Amino acid sequence: MTATVPPLPSGLRSRVLEASLRARAAGGPFPEVPEISGAEAYRRAADALYQTLDQLAAPDWRRPTIRDLNVQSLVGHLTGVEDDLRRALAGDSEAETADHVASTQPAAARQASHDPVRTLQEWRGAVDSMLAGVAGLDNHGIIVGLHGIRLPLNALLVARAFELWTHENDVRLSCGLPAAVPDPARLHQMTALGVGLLPFAAGRAGLRRSARVHLVLTGAGGGTWDVELGDEQPSDPVQATIVIDAVGFCRLVANRATPAELQPHITGDREHAGAVLAAATTLALD
Amino acid sequence: MGGTDAVLAARLAAGDDQALAEIFDRLGTAVYGAAVGVIGVGSSAQDVVQDVFVELWSHPDRYNPAAGSLRAYLTVLARHRAVDTVRSELRRIGRQERHSRLTRAEAPPSPGEQVLTAEVASTVRSAIAGLPAAQRQVIELAYYHEMTCREVANAIGIPEGTAKSRLRLALAKLESVLDRQLLESP
């Protein structure tokens, strides 16, 4: 005999959902992550990369990584970026228009004649100098132009944290080490930056249609966002929901993974959602 | 992403309130049914449903998709909460009984208390039916006829101390029977 299930009382649904949202606000991850500054995210990313580099054997520094760089010249590239950022902060307008790769190529190339220890210490010294220079400045609304993009200093430092994490994993991949995962607080800063830049990426990729995408980044340091795309504010409710791992989303935004590799869970307008994810890879925050 | 429940759990942890609404639409009726199965139709069952969903949303980590389905987790949680409500009502009866020994002029139960009593009645009645006859007799007089221990003792012609002891035993046994019902329920 099957018991008859009584119908839900009217009003119970809204009562339950309202009570739930009073207990915990929507949007943020569980458990909550502490808010950290862009400078702190950058410092943590630099520390993590330093630890990875510090454990490498001499032959590892010669292993090929991305483009035509080996580990050592990749670190030289990063020293070059620090040099350009220092120039940008000093008001040098050439740093804003400089190409991210070409501008840093001399710094990468000169590492060939250096001992890896020297390469490592030069880069770490440039990072420490930068951290000392931006201390207390990252929340003062300073806008900095670097390598073709203008961002508030705090966001730019998160972008730098993004780059350091991405290259740390380039190094780890080439040396046969497991991939590094940012701590939740740093990851949350990185995902928020990537999500914030999605409308820009979509527009640049030609996605002009107004749409609202419900983006859910899972795992520690993730979160939930309704991203508005297109030239005008979308009038319709959410057209697509994308659920994807937060670390995977960062790999996507760094152009180190494809949407197909990450197997996102998509409902709604799958075609548009796929185009948004494809656009995310063009941000190439590396 | 893994199965549907694993995706929903991950979405809850990411703060996705749409996922919570989807879960309510899919499982709200089952959760309500589980609560009603213990305490009957009414506001107490609705309170249980609210507690269950607030718990899921506030502590999404407590549901482990590898351990079982979301439906099973929520309905078991609802039965636990409903039994807690019944036990709370039994304790209220016990407190009321002790209070009545000290103050003869009892305040009438509030409308809310009357509603709650009605909701738990069917569950308690079936548990009472399984008690030994002597304990069943004292609890029926105390529970249904709202007699004090002294009145129970006078009504059935036993010392008041014996009536108190039988009532205590009966209340303890009822809690244990309700626990067993919970464990044995699907």
Asked, for residue A23, whether it belongs to a domain, the answer is: no
Distance of CA A4 to the CA centre of its chain: 52
Cβ B10–A243 below 8 Å, yes or no? yes
For the ranges A34-43, B122-131, B154-163, the maximum mean pLDDT occurs at A34-43
Q: Are A170 and A195 part of one and the same domain?
A: no
Cβ B24–A16 below 8 Å, yes or no? yes
Residue A78 belongs to domain with CATH number: 1.20.120.450
- The alpha-helical segments, DSSP class H, found in B103-129 are 111-129
Higher pLDDT, B153 or A158: A158
Min Cα distance A203 → chain B (Å) is 26
- The alpha-helical segments, DSSP class H, found in chain A are 12-23, 38-54, 71-89, 94-97, 105-109, 116-134, 153-174, 184-204, 246-253, 259-262, 270-281
Cβ A223–B15 below 8 Å, yes or no? yes
Domains and CATH numbers, chain B: 4-82 (1.10.1740.10), 84-184 (1.10.10.10)
Ramachandran bin of A52, using left for φ above 0, alpha for ψ from -120 to 50, beta for the remaining angles: alpha
Cβ B11–A23 below 8 Å, yes or no? no
Q: Quick one: CA dihedral B10, B13, B14, B17, positive or negative?
A: positive
Q: Which residue of A has its CA nearest to B42?
A: A9
Min Cα distance A138 → chain B (Å) is 27
- Host domain of residue A243: 185-281
Say yes or no: A239 contacts chain B, CB-CB below 8 A.
Answer: no
**pLDDT tens per residue, range A163-192:** 999 999 999 999 999 999 999 999 999 999
Q: Are A166 and A241 part of one and the same domain?
A: no
Cβ A264–B1 below 8 Å, yes or no? yes
Higher pLDDT, A146 or A50: A50
Q: Are A157 and A200 part of one and the same domain?
A: no
Which residue do the tokens 């990252």 mark?
A138
Best mutation site among A218, A227, A247, A249 for testing chain B: the one with the most B CBs within 10 Å? A218
Say how many domains are in chain A: 2
Q: A48 falls in which pLDDT band (50, 70, 90)?
A: very high
Q: Are A195 and A172 part of one and the same domain?
A: no
Distance of CA A10 to the CA centre of its chain: 44
Cβ B1–A24 below 8 Å, yes or no? no
Has residue B50 got a pLDDT over 80? yes
Interface size, chain A vs chain B, as Cβ–Cβ contacts under 8 Å? 114
Has residue A1 got a pLDDT over 50? no
Q: How far apart are CA A242 and CA A268, in angstroms?
A: 9
**pLDDT tens per residue, range B102-133:** 565 555 555 555 554 555 556 666 777 788 88
3-state secondary structure of A245: strand
Q: Quick one: CA dihedral A180, A181, A186, A189, positive or negative?
A: positive
Distance of CA A209 to the CA centre of its chain: 25
What residues contact A286, with CB distance under 8 A and at least 6 apart?
A66, A162, A163, A166, A167, A170, A254, A255, A256
Among candidate residues A180, A207, A233, the one where a domain is terminated: A180
Report the candidate in A27, A11, A192, A213 with the shortest Cα–Cα distance to residue B46: A11
**Structure token digits, residue B61:** 């980590």
Best mutation site among A1, A4, A5, A16 for testing chain B: the one with the most B CBs within 10 Å? A16
Sheet arrangement for strand A240-245: A223-229, A211-218, A240-245, A265-268
Q: A229 falls in which pLDDT band (50, 70, 90)?
A: confident
**What mean pLDDT do residues B23-39 have?**
94
Q: How far apart are CA A75 and CA A108, in angstroms?
A: 7
How many residues are there in chain A? 286
Q: Which amino acid is at B96?
A: Q
Min Cα distance A83 → chain B (Å) is 38
Q: How many helices (H) and strands (E) does chain B have?
A: 8, 0
Q: Are A156 and A242 part of one and the same domain?
A: no
**What mean pLDDT do residues A96-101 have?**
85
Q: Are A56 and A190 part of one and the same domain?
A: no
Min Cα distance A119 → chain B (Å) is 40
What is the reported pLDDT for B72? 97
Q: Are A42 and A144 part of one and the same domain?
A: yes
All residues of chain A having their beta carbon less than 8 Å from the beta carbon of residue B18 are: 214, 238, 241
**What mean pLDDT do residues A86-90 have?**
88
Q: How far apart are CA A193 and CA A182, in angstroms?
A: 14
Pairing relation of β-strands A211-218 and A240-245? parallel
Cβ B57–A20 below 8 Å, yes or no? yes
Best mutation site among A5, A12, A20, A215 for testing chain B: the one with the most B CBs within 10 Å? A20
Q: B186 falls in which pLDDT band (50, 70, 90)?
A: very low
What residues contact A142, with CB distance under 8 A and at least 6 apart?
A152, A153
Asked, for residue A49, whether it belongs to a domain, the answer is: yes
Residue A277 belongs to domain with CATH number: 3.30.1050.10
Q: Are A157 and A192 part of one and the same domain?
A: no
**What mean pLDDT do residues A4-13 have?**
89
Residue in A13, A27, A241 closest to B24 by CB: A13
Has residue A2 got a pLDDT over 60? no
Asked, for residue A22, whether it belongs to a domain, the answer is: no
Which range among A176-190, A257-271, B79-93, B121-135 shows the weakest confidence by mean pLDDT? Answer: B121-135
What is the reported pLDDT for A157? 93
**Structure token digits, residue A77:** 């590239």
Has residue A28 got a pLDDT over 90? yes
Q: Are A61 and A163 part of one and the same domain?
A: yes
Q: What is the DSSP letter of A218?
A: E
Has residue B182 got a pLDDT over 60? no
Which range among A8-22, A117-131, B109-123 shows the weakest confidence by mean pLDDT? Answer: B109-123
Q: How far apart are CA A64 and CA B125, in angstroms?
A: 77
Cβ A12–B54 below 8 Å, yes or no? no
**What rounded mean pLDDT belongs to chain B?**
81
Residue in A6, A8, A265 closest to B1 by CB: A265
Cβ B37–A17 below 8 Å, yes or no? no
Burial (CB < 10 A; 0-12, 13-18, 19+), residue A145, is: middle
